[in-house]
Amino acid sequence: MTRLYLGNLAPDTSDEEIGEFLAKYGFPPFDEIEHAPGDGSRPAAVLTYRSIDPNALGQLQKRIHNMHWKNRALTAQILRDGFA
Structural domains of the chain in order of their starting residue, each with its CATH number: 2-79 (3.30.70.330)
DSSP 8-state symbol, 52: S
DSSP 8-state symbol, 63: H
Q: What pTM value is reported for the model?
A: 0.89
Residue 80 has pLDDT above 60, yes or no: yes
Please state, as a whole number, how many other Cβ atoms lie within 10 Å of the Cβ of residue 21: 18
| Max Cα distance, the chain (Å) | 32
Q: Could you report the per-residue pLDDT of 38-57, keeping only the tens digit for each?
A: 777 889 999 999 999 999 99
